[in-house]
A and B are shown apart, each in its own frame.
Chain A
Amino acid sequence: MSFLEVSNITKSFGDTEVLKGISFTMERGQVLAIIGSSGSGKTTLLRCLNFLETADGGTIRLGGDTLFDAQNDRRISDSELRARRLRFGLVFQSFNLFPQYSVLRNVTLAKELLLRDEGHLSRAERRRRLDEIDEQARALLKRVGLEAKYANYPCELSGGQQQRVAIARALALNPDILCFDEPTSALDPELTIEVLKVIRGLISSDRTMIVVTHEMNFASSVADHVIFMADGVIEEEGTPEQVFGSPRSPKTRAFLQRPDN
């Protein structure tokens, strides 16, 4: 049994079938790159994994737990839904930082709010935990190269710096799987490089990541496995060598030969 097992996910918006049965598996510590032309359903897939959309069909299993099963669609409680969402993290194309909070607060906020779910803590215990959250956030920001920006506001940062804050913010909750939806598509080339460097630096044996990207060099150098999506299906998948080196599907070949890749 694999760490993540996604099987037969389908999703339609009205009459348009956007995901037509997506299945794949991942092992812990792996990096999966998802490529494909725009409109092929990559974002929708990540949104289904993060429960921003509810898939119409299929199942999602993570670490042996069934997180989603369309067959068994009893309505789940809000707190259960939140618990499932926390198993995945998502870094958006457009960062979506909270503009009214400092960089540090962007990273600590969600974790502080989660502390409340733990019921009543003694004042000293609460203080200790808040200090811990603060310290962890500072360490994460340092890790993404922003130790000089704790007190700044998102509007004072470059796009690349904002995206690095967003990465630290997602890491703070320590998700089992961290998803990136075209994390550099909104960035200039120089800024793209710094963000990709940070993502590359996150790879470790216990960090599992799914990266939707148009950066083919990046995908082929960091990914253990590559999925090429076209029109809501997995058109081709394999190791980077297979998919980039000797693509079998004509659609993959056509996609990879496009000059903008």
Chain B
Amino acid sequence: MSFLQVTLALLDGFKTTFILFAVTLLAAVPLGLLVCLGSKSRIPIVRIITRAFIWVIRGTPLMLQVLVVFYVPGLIFKMPFQSRMAAVIIAFIINYACYFSEIYRGGIESIPKGQYEAGQVLGMTKTQIFFRVVLMQVIKRILPPMSNEIITLVKDTSLARIISVGEVIRSAQDIVSGYALIWPLFYTGVFYLLFNGGLTLLLGWCEKKLSYYNG
């Protein structure tokens, strides 16, 4: 297999990796906010259920969650997933929404009470206080831990192969076993490195954008 052929095969796998990454990120960022609101709810039952759910999701392996999401509908409810990718995406979104929600919660709770009170005595509404005073400070504070999670997400996409979704490592493995070539494995690492390198630069740029003030 030529270098070009391997590249094309890996690129094809990486497309799946990328879609899984992007869809999970786009959905989990807002869904995490919803989970966060649930875990901060004033209604005890909502809060307890949300926190228990977060505890389960964070306390069990993502790989197990992928398997559960994929097999449970088919084996228990007789409604098997039509698309393996859909099962993986759902498991990933739930998992990452829970992780993000805890980061959001930490960020929101780290904002001093005085910021809310300053807004209140200046006659702002609750919504104005959240969007005009608190939000930007929260974003600045959660950006570093979010960056970590986002980089982790890129690597976690490799778990999709547990239910035979053809992401980049699976493509590589097919070449390794089919053509007895070892180097495509290292080449796969390069795909991850380049992609994570780009992400790191982008996230670093965002952090820099927000570093015009301290506090």
**Residues of A near any B CB (own CB < 8 A):** 50-52, 78, 82-83, 85-86, 88-90, 92, 94, 96-100, 109-110, 113-114, 153-155, 169-170, 173
| Contact status A89-B121, CB under 8 Å | yes
Q: Which of B117, B140, B212, B215 contacts A92 (CB 8 A)?
A: B117
- Whether, in the assembled complex, B133 has its beta carbon less than 8 Å from a beta carbon of chain A, the answer is yes
Decide yes or no whether B118 CB sits under 8 A from chain A. Answer: yes
Flag if B114 contacts A96 (CB, 8 Å).
yes
**What is the 8 Å Cβ interface bit string for chain B, positions 116-142, against chain A (1 contact, 0 not)?**
011111111110100011001100100
B213 near A85 with CB under 8 A, answer no
**Closest Cβ of chain B: how far from A49's Cβ, in Å?**
10
B177 adjacent to chain A (CB < 8 Å): no
B115 at interface, CB cutoff 8 A: yes
Distance in Å: Cβ of A116 to nearest Cβ of chain B: 9
Question: How many residues of chain B get a CB closer than 8 Å to chain A's CBs?
Answer: 23
A-B contact pairs, 20 of them (CB 8 A): A51-B120, A52-B117, A82-B123, A85-B123, A88-B121, A89-B121, A90-B121, A92-B118, A99-B137, A100-B136, A100-B137, A100-B213, A109-B132, A110-B119, A113-B132, A114-B123, A154-B213, A155-B213, A155-B215, A173-B122
Q: Which residues of A contact B136 (CB under 8 A)?
A: 100
Extra pairs beyond A98-B115, A113-B124, A113-B132 (14, CB < 8 Å): A50-B120, A50-B121, A52-B120, A85-B121, A85-B123, A88-B121, A92-B117, A100-B213, A110-B123, A110-B124, A155-B214, A155-B215, A169-B122, A173-B123
Counting chain B CB atoms within 10 Å of each CB, the highest count among A94, A100, A113 belongs to A100
Contact in complex: A85, B114 (CB < 8 Å): no
B126 to chain A: which residues have CB within 8 Å? 78
Q: Most A CB atoms within 10 A — which of B128, B213, B215?
A: B213
Q: How far is the CB of A186 from chain B (nearest CB, A)?
A: 12
* Cβ 8 A contact of A153, one of B124, B125, B213: B213
Closest to A156 in B: B213
- Whether B114 and A94, one on each chain, are in contact in the complex, defined by CB atoms closer than 8 angstroms, is yes
CB distance from A173 to the nearest CB of B (A): 6
9 nearest CB pairs, A to B: A110-B122, A99-B215, A96-B114, A96-B118, A155-B214, A153-B213, A86-B123, A90-B121, A100-B136
Contacts of B124 in A (CB 8 A): 82, 110, 113
Q: A171 to chain B: closest CB distance in Å?
A: 11
A114 to B128, CA, bound (A): 10
Give, as a whole number of angstroms, the nearest-CB distance from B52 to chain A.
29
Which residue on A lies nearest to B135, using beta carbons? A100
Residue of A52, A110, A170 with highest tally of chain B CB at under 10 A: A110
Are B120 and A113 in contact (CB-based, < 8 A)? no
**B215 to chain A: which residues have CB within 8 Å?**
99, 154-155
B residues less than 8 Å from A109 (CB atoms): 122, 132
The closest CB in chain B to the CB of A87 belongs to B123
Q: Which residue of B lies closest to A82 (CB)?
A: B123
Q: Which residues of A contact B214 (CB under 8 A)?
A: 99, 155
Q: Interface 1/0s, chain B 197-215, versus A by CB < 8 A? A: 0000000000000001111
Q: Is the CB of B140 within 8 A of A98?
A: no
List the A side residues contacting B213 at CB < 8 Å: 99-100, 153-155
Asked if B115 contacts A96 (CB within 8 A), the reply is yes
The docked-state distance in angstroms from the alpha carbon of A173 to that of B115 is 17
CA A55 – CA B112 in complex, angstroms? 23
Chain B min CB distance to A115 (Å): 12
